[in-house]
């Protein structure tokens, strides 16, 4: 995401949950872990999620008794959330300007959002100011790699190879760099750096791991539909040629257009315990 640009997910609100789905047992394990972390601070924790979206994480947290408040810039995403559960307080607001007094919450949460905001550092600092002394701040999501989350090279699965084919072809056709996992890693590093600057104790924790699968057809369909924000950078003019070039390479990679191939996914969190 380029500096100064706000990226609303209104355009994919109706498919967001389907394209980012985790197995039910994984979603439960992630929610259990986040709720337990928040309860280290308070028996009835109040948590702010920045970029709450459709409530993919927030709804299971609310089901576990966490009092969740969320902000987002997408009215359509918040509409989906409120269709699931009405007792989560939500507000349209920009991530770096949360409309709450300091030290309002016991915990804060970012899930796959820091790489999408114009100023990750300002967002982290503004959000951590909302967490009371001794509170907990968390940032994370699906891992880009099963090994090194912050490496500039990720080769752990066939999906990574397929993404590499797409990104290289986009660059060849248009000169546009889709960025790979670099923006995500940069956002996570910013969170950790700011938290440490504030004197927080920081740790990494993997909350869940599972096996997923995809096909060349599914990846091509997702690319054409632009269901993921990274694809919004692709110029519309090159899309027909991009699809034509990528299809045979993906088919060869997967061993068939409809062949399902499994790969590992995991959900990890950077956890910052703020000073009292």
pLDDT tens across 68-119, in order?
Answer: 999 999 999 999 999 999 999 999 999 999 999 999 999 999 999 999 999 9
CA distance 263 to 198: 37
Q: Which residues contact 24 (CB under 8 A, 6 or more apart)?
A: none
Angle at 229 between CA 170 and CA 246, to 5 degrees: 30
CA distance 253 to 271: 37
Q: How many angstroms separate the first and last alpha carbons of the chain? A: 35
- Is residue 227 very low, low, confident or very high in pLDDT (cuts 50, 70, 90)? confident
pTM given for the model: 0.89
Looking at residue 230, its pLDDT comes to: 83
């Amino acid at each position: 995401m380029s500096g100064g640009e706000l990226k609303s997910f209104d355009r994919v609100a109706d498919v967001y949950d389907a394209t980012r789905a985790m197995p039910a047992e994984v979603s439960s394990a992630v929610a259990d872990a986040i709720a337990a972390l928040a309860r280290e601070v308070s028996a009835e924790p109040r948590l702010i999620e920045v970029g709450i979206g459709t409530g993919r994480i927030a709804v299971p947290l609310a089901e576990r008794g966490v009092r969740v408040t969320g902000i987002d810039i997408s009215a359509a995403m918040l509409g989906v959330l409120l269709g699931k559960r009405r007792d989560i307080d939500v507000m349209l607001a920009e991530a770096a300007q949360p409309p709450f007094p300091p030290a309002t919450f016991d915990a804060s949460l970012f899930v796959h959002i820091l790489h999408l905001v114009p100023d990750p550092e300002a967002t982290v600092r503004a959000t951590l100011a909302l967490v009371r002394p001794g509170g907990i701040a968390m940032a994370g999501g699906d891992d880009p790699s099963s090994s090194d989350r912050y490496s500039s090279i990720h080769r752990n699965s066939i999906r990574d190879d397929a993404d590499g084919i797409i990104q290289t072809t986009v660059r060849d056709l248009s000169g546009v760099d889709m960025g790979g996992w670099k923006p995500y890693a940069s956002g996570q590093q910013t969170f950790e750096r700011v938290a440490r600057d504030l004197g927080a104790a920081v740790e990494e924790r993997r909350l869940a791991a599972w096996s997923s699968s995809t096909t060349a057809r599914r990846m091509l369909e997702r690319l054409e539909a632009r269901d993921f924000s990274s694809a919004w950078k692709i110029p519309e003019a090159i899309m027909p040629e991009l699809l034509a070039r990528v299809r045979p390479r993906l088919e060869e990679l997967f061993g068939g257009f409809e062949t399902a191939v499994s790969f590992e996914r995991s959900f990890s969190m950077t956890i910052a315990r703020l000073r009292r």
